Structure 1
Amino acid sequence: MTHTEDFEDLLDCKNVLGVEYDDETNTLTVFVSQKLPDSELADEDNVKKRVTDVNLEVEDAGFDEERDGFDALSHAEPVPEAQANRHDRHRPVVAGVSEINAKETAATAGPYPARVTDTKTANWSADVSEGDLVRLSNNHVYARINDAEFGEPIVQPSPRDGGGLPDDKTGELLGYVTVEDGAVVDVSARSADPEQDSAEYHELDDSWPTTVRREDYRSMKGKTVAKTGRTTGVTRSQVKATSASVRVKFGDAGTLTLRDQCIAGAMSKGGDSGSPVFLDSSGELVGLLFAGSSRQTIFNKIANVESELGVELLAEESGEGGDGGSGGDDGDRDDDDGGEDGSFTYRETLSETVSVAVGSPQLSLVSFSVAGSPTSGQQASATARVSGSAKGTAWLAVDGDRTTFELSETHVRGNRFVRNVRVTVTIPESVGDSFDVNVEGGYVLNE
């Protein structure tokens, strides 16, 4: 049992919604629905009288009334209006816009792409195979708090924002982790289509997520995180807790205790459930938002999301190490134990001759990947990650099809300008383990 769980008995106290014990500082943080003077609290409800020999901090959640849990944010009534353009129909679907089960109100499309790695870990449809790509959001967003049947339709935008069947269907419920007392995640997955789903995160830098954090969450305390969501858009706040046990109200399912949660300050409202959360300094994906109040925002650790659901979030590697540097695995390796050199099998996916222009700004190709499982003879979405030596207008030609794009101050990574460029490739009629794509590029120079 973790040290925080030693203090979970305090959740039975009047107004107490969450607790976290930090053994490095011997600090117990208690989150309450409203602060009351000692004179209005019975001894059994007065945290000050129930704990000793710790540094005690009490955080007011801002409800101004007695509550027994934080709100699961797509069940906070009434759901506010969506931020401009996030209630619109987006094709392809990007993370951070309005999306939910067709039988629900409104919430947010979450991280994509996620690759299914283990269908025995959680509840998965028999139609799902390991290796399939899915989009994630909360259980209470796609799976209706454990009540949905596999195959139920997901719509974008949400019904609250005018979405409906059949025109706005974006996928079907495929998997979820049961939400119950003691759970560490509120997550589910829908089917995804590389032609209809984008790996972009609405109104965030197009290189995000740079990495996925899989350890060392304690070091995030005091750091700023950012999220993109349906109701409040892009917002930022500082992390207050990284291993909290919290009580959350899940509508008709009642109030449940979830463990090992991260808590930040105010940066969400009803309808923001499912929002991806990033470390603001590096673009590292760190969490999945699901609950909160007017003063706090609660999100699952993304490492718990992966392990509990049996998926792997795919992200580009920034090469800069990020803040904390613990999320370095980008999930795209083909290295398998027991291969060549005694430990790895090295599969060649890149072989090119680089032309270097002397005295001119230089553009290089960092990586090139095709989304999903390519179908022979069809077009597929692909991502070319490029690195330039200067800002300005650059170009790429993929098998002769040219596109231009800008490299600006928002794309700075160290002393380079790095950007993901979305392109389209045509899959050959006969595809083996790989196929060749001709990629050319450079800068557009003024005459």
Structure 2
Amino acid sequence: MFKQDLTGEYLEISNIQKDEQDSVLAKDNVVGVGIGHKTTDEKETGDVCMTVLVAQKLDASLLKIDDMIPPTIGKFKTDVIETGEIFAGTHHDTEDVALTEEENVGAQILAKRLRPVKGGYSVGHYKITAGTMATAVYDAKPYPGIPSKYYMLSNNHVLANSNNARIGDPILQPGPYDGGKRRKDRIARLSRFVPIRFNGPCNYVDAAIAEGQFHDLNREIYWIGYVKGVGAVKVGTIVQKTGRTTNYTTGKVVALNGTVNVNYGSGQVAKMCRQIITTNMSAGGDSGSLLCDLNENAVGLLFAGSSTVTIHNDIRYVQSLLNIRIV
């Protein structure tokens, strides 16, 4: 989250989180930490708390003392959510393990060839399986003015093969897993991406853009419409997305300012900071979906998740680091 978004108790707990999160993340079984609302007997109390994501909830007798989550951190209560391990939402190579049966939900997936392509449809670097196009965007400058280039927005791991791509590489629509071929289905070429730094420092986005022809790229998002603005969310905000695999889904923001360890496969883990954490609203292949509030404001870029939560970049970091405008 942007610092100016946090006021009152949220700002106070964010300062405690900054000091304490490394020690919490170092505990065995912990995969993330953020700011949420305390839940008691499956009911949200509204009390600001430190939300701790764990791969598996274990009986205290199975944990070392140093790995137990304390009931409070500073003056704030903790709330433990079992999430499983958090994975980036596509496989990284067409020769890798295919999407699972659960991820491949069948005929409803937005996997067909479409020109101009809308947000929510299957796209991908020619060496991955498939992800999702968020929307069409353009350079932040000149504004106001006449854009010289137009792009599709998605994740680094969708358009840039998790850093393993070259500028100019072909982007296919639909993605390779959905039948996209380099000769007939190239819709764009990789233009720029924010490198993902693995096994160490904070990352704020998993994001990339690919340049295409204006007439091939549609800013409309299937089932959602046209983005009206760029905004922020609060804990409890209801959000929506359209993606290649699970189509149109809604969710609720359960934590902000999240720091999450995300597994990219092949032993690569990226620490993602200042993330938006929602209830589960995705599956493999939905990576790159644009997260919107119910007023059609863009708020996040979906990139990872588990069977219980979905993780999104704050869209304002995406805009800033890629130097683009969504509206």
1:135 offset after TM fit, Å?
Answer: 1.2
Residue in 1 aligned with 2:264?
250
2:120 pairs with 1:96: yes
Matches within 5 A, 1:316-355: none
2:58 pairs with 1:39: no
2:239 pairs with 1:222: no
Matches within 5 A, 1:47-66: 47-48=69-70, 51=73, 53-61=75-83, 63=84
1:177 offset after TM fit, Å?
Answer: 0.6
1:195 offset after TM fit, Å?
Answer: 1.0
1:114 offset after TM fit, Å?
Answer: 3.0
2:227 pairs with 1:198: no
TM-score, normalization by structure 1? 0.61
TM-score, normalization by structure 2? 0.83
Cα distance, 1:149–1:116 mapped onto 2, change above 3 Å: farther
**What is the CA–CA distance in structure 2 between the aligned matches of 1:75 and 1:85, rounded to whole Å?**
17
Residue in 2 aligned with 1:405?
none
Residue in 2 aligned with 1:87?
111
Matches within 5 A, 1:43-442: 43-48=65-70, 51=73, 53-61=75-83, 63=84, 67=85, 70-75=86-91, 78-79=98-99, 80-81=103-104, 84=108, 86-117=110-141, 131-180=148-197, 181-204=201-224, 206=225, 208-213=226-231, 217=232, 219-252=233-266, 254-280=268-294, 282-314=295-327
Cα distance, 1:22–1:233 mapped onto 2, change above 3 Å: closer
Deviations 1:201-243 (A, max 9, x none): 1122x3x312111xxx3x5210110000000000001001121
1:146 offset after TM fit, Å?
Answer: 1.2
Cα distance, 1:253–1:34 mapped onto 2, change above 3 Å: closer
Is the Cα contact below 8 Å between 1:145 and 1:253 reproduced in 2?
no
1:116 offset after TM fit, Å?
Answer: 4.4
Q: Please say which structure displays the higher CA radius of gyration.
A: 1
1:130 offset after TM fit, Å?
Answer: 7.6
Aligned-pair identity in percent equals: 32
> Root-mean-square deviation (CA), in Å?
2.3
**What is the CA–CA distance in structure 1 between the aligned matches of 2:48 and 2:223, rounded to whole Å?**
39
**What is the CA–CA distance in structure 2 between the aligned matches of 1:130 and 1:172, rounded to whole Å?**
17
Across the two proteins, how many residue pairs are aligned to each other? 291
Q: For structure 1, which runs of at least 5 residues remain unmatched after alignment?
A: 119-128, 315-447
1:134 offset after TM fit, Å?
Answer: 1.3
**What is the CA–CA distance in structure 2 between the aligned matches of 1:25 and 1:307, rounded to whole Å?**
32
Aligned partner letter, 2:192: G
1:39 offset after TM fit, Å?
Answer: 0.6
**What is the CA–CA distance in structure 2 between the aligned matches of 1:195 and 1:72, rounded to whole Å?**
31
- Provide the secondary structure at the position in 2 that maps to 1:303: helix
Higher strand fraction (1 or 2): 2
Deviations 1:364-388 (A, max 9, x none): xxxxxxxxxxxxxxxxxxxxxxxxx
**What is the CA–CA distance in structure 2 between the aligned matches of 1:188 and 1:26, rounded to whole Å?**
34
**What is the CA–CA distance in structure 1 between the aligned matches of 2:113 and 2:148, rounded to whole Å?**
28
Aligned partner letter, 1:313: I
- Provide the secondary structure at the position in 2 that maps to 1:286: strand
1:246 offset after TM fit, Å?
Answer: 0.5
**What is the CA–CA distance in structure 2 between the aligned matches of 1:304 and 1:253, rounded to whole Å?**
26
**What is the CA–CA distance in structure 2 between the aligned matches of 1:253 and 1:311, rounded to whole Å?**
32
1:51 offset after TM fit, Å?
Answer: 3.8
